[in-house]
Amino acid sequence: MNMPPNAAANPIAPPAGSAMNRRDFVWGVATASYQIEGAIDADGRLPSIWDTFCATPGKVLRGETGALACDHYHRWESDVDLIADLGVDAYRLSIAWPRVMHADGRPNQAGLDFYKRLLDRLAERGVKCMATLYHWDLPQHLEDRGGWLNRDTAYRFADYADLVSRELSGRVNAYATLNEPWCSAFLGYGNGHHAPGLANGRYATQAMHHLLLAHGLALAPLAANDPQAQRGIVANVGRGSTLGDSAADHEAARLFELQHNDWVLQPLLKGSYPQDLFKLWPGTEPLVLDGDLATISGPLDFLGINYYFRSTVQSDGAHGYTEVTRPDVERTQMGWEVYPQGLEDLLRGFHTSYPNLPPIYITENGMSSDDRVVNGPNGPRVDDAQRQSFLQRHFAAISRAIDAGVDVRGYYIWSLMDNFEWAFGYERRFGLVHVDYATQQRTLKDSALLFQHYLAQRKG
């Protein structure tokens, strides 16, 4: 593709004068262990709930699994060079709990050594690391004992966080305890769309409580073992709106956002659960012990925000809401509406609702498209024009939120490369880099080339 002559002409660059153009704004890319590593039986790695879920007929599109994924476990050196050559400041990865810890709690040195080599190579190439401790791959042996429905799993997570932060101390710039507890709780235990595939509203709220308790219990060992690293959590958030103008429809939109956003943020930042949640889901109040909410609401150095789309809802005529399809809007390959304004709205709303809101990093934002490699006169090329437009519009939305006073300090594109997209297998492609799964060939899409050019221009 023809590269723009300067950063201002770059079609994905933030607006001129944006705080995102400053040198201290962190630009990064993100991945997750189960989605890219493969090597599920290598070097003592234990089975995870996603290995089990993938092996269950009908759970994942075409019966695909993460057994090979992007083979990152064996290709990590060239992948680190790929990351560094993009020019990013930071890389958000996740540690695979089943890879680094034996079932009896002892360290699995081979797995830990893999991450040490990876982190050391990132540091050599000048790339900082945000390490997510839990990106959904719970060891199966813990699920066999109840998983996140069992309070003991929260304590086992604290042991795991203690182990990882001792072993990786000095190599990690920031730890995110959990990725998207809403997905782990609701999709995993509430509607069964994700591992472990259970579907019960009471399960969802109890799993959420234990997930958040695990987060809170992990903060102390992280601070003790790696005091120079920041500590935070990553929450996925959703914008809800309505086509109607009735009071009931506006209430439906409020309840949607309460369920998607405040269910996580309010216990973290205010030390309480939103009581309207249990009006929405009667009889689902979790068992909360004395001191739990104080543990959950421990101080955070940062909050990671993942945002992808807007949902349109209407009143269900009772005490809740139903989702409806908004006609004539731009959508991604996932069927999600492209709505950058929703990210600005949410950031500004959180800034108002939570006076103690910590500094924010956009830890995931991106889109899937049906990307194909074509051979042109200058070699292989992936023209992903919709992704370029998606990114530029979301950068502009974040810039407006910053101008309104929201403390956003960085942005990580999801994802570095195409990978295993959970229940959708390998069909949905979110990457800046195209992966040919048959050959493991990596090809920078046009969006990656433009992003690389922008970062080079920014650094001067």
Rounded to the nearest 5°, which phi and psi values hold at 444?
Answer: -65, 125
Preceding omega of 389 cis (within 30 degrees of 0): no
Q: Mean pLDDT across the stretch 179-202?
A: 98
CB 40 within 8 A of CB 103: no
Rounded to the nearest 5°, which phi and psi values hold at 371?
Answer: -80, 135
Range of the domain at 318: 7-459
Q: Smallest Cα–Cα separation from 420: which of 181, 136, 112?
A: 136
- Answer yes or no: is 35 a known binding residue: yes
CB 88 within 8 A of CB 29: yes
27 pLDDT higher than 60: yes
Q: Whose structure tokens read 């990580």?
A: 412
Q: In this predicted model, what pLDDT tens digit does every residue of 212-237 receive, in sequence order?
A: 999 999 999 999 999 999 999 999 99
User: Model-level pTM?
Assistant: 0.98
Distances in Å between the Cα of 407 and the Cα atoms of 12, 236, 360, 362, 448 are: 22, 18, 6, 11, 26
* pLDDT (0 to 100) of residue 5: 44
Q: In this predicted model, what pLDDT tens digit does every residue of 110-127 receive, in sequence order?
A: 999 999 999 999 999 999
Q: In this predicted model, what pLDDT tens digit does every residue of 432-451 receive, in sequence order?
A: 999 999 999 999 999 999 99
- Answer yes or no: is 148 a known binding residue: no
193 pLDDT higher than 90: yes
CB 322 within 8 A of CB 243: no
> Which residues, in sequence order, are CB contacts of 19 under 8 Å at separation 6+?
25, 399, 402, 403, 408
Q: How confident is the model at residue 1 (pLDDT cuts 50, 70, 90)?
A: low
Please count the structural domains in the chain: 1
Percentage of the chain modeled with pLDDT above 90: 95
Q: Mean pLDDT across the stretch 160-186?
A: 98
* pLDDT (0 to 100) of residue 188: 98
148 domain residue, yes or no = yes
CATH classification of the domain holding 222 = 3.20.20.80
Q: Whose structure tokens read 């990656």?
A: 448
- Answer yes or no: is 414 a known binding residue: yes
Q: Rounding to the nearest 10 degrees, give the CA dihedral for residues 203, 211, 32, 42.
A: -90
Return the active site residues: 180, 364
Q: How confident is the model at residue 82 (pLDDT cuts 50, 70, 90)?
A: very high
* pLDDT (0 to 100) of residue 7: 44
Q: Smallest Cα–Cα separation from 265: which of 150, 366, 337, 351?
A: 351
* pLDDT (0 to 100) of residue 319: 80
**SS3 annotation, the chain:** CCCCCCHHHCCCCCCCCCHHHCCCCEEEEECCHHHHCCCCCHHHCCCEHHHHHHCCCCCCHHHCCCCCCCCHHHHHHHHHHHHHHHCCCEEEEECCHHHHECCCCCECHHHHHHHHHHHHHHHHCCCEEEEEEECCCCEHHHHCCCHHHCCHHHHHHHHHHHHHHHHCCCCCCEEEEEECHHHHHHHHHHCCCCCCCCCCHHHHHHHHHHHHHHHHHHHHHHHHHCCCCEEEEEEEEEEEECCCCCHHHHHHHHHHHHHHHHHHHHHHHHCCCCCHHHHHCCCCCCCCCCCHHHHHCCCCCEEEEEEEEEEEEEECCCCCEEEECCCCCCECCCCCECCHHHHHHHHHHHHHHCCCCCCEEEEECCCCECCCCEEECCEEECCCHHHHHHHHHHHHHHHHHHHCCCCEEEEEEECCECCCCHHHCCCCECCCEEEECCCCEEEECHHHHHHHHHHHHHHC
432 domain residue, yes or no = yes
45 pLDDT higher than 90: yes
What rounded mean pLDDT belongs to the chain?
A: 97
376 pLDDT higher than 90: no
Q: Which amino acid makes up residue 129?
A: C
Q: How confident is the model at residue 378 (pLDDT cuts 50, 70, 90)?
A: confident
Listed range (195-204, 249-258, 374-383, 411-420) with the worst mean pLDDT = 374-383
Q: How confident is the model at residue 3 (pLDDT cuts 50, 70, 90)?
A: low
438 domain residue, yes or no = yes
**Cα angle vertex 105, ends 103, 111, to 5°?**
80
Q: How confident is the model at residue 460 (pLDDT cuts 50, 70, 90)?
A: confident
Q: How confident is the model at residue 2 (pLDDT cuts 50, 70, 90)?
A: low
391 domain residue, yes or no = yes
User: Distance between CA 47 and CA 144 in Å, rounded?
Assistant: 11
- Answer yes or no: is 76 a known binding residue: no
Q: How confident is the model at residue 414 (pLDDT cuts 50, 70, 90)?
A: very high
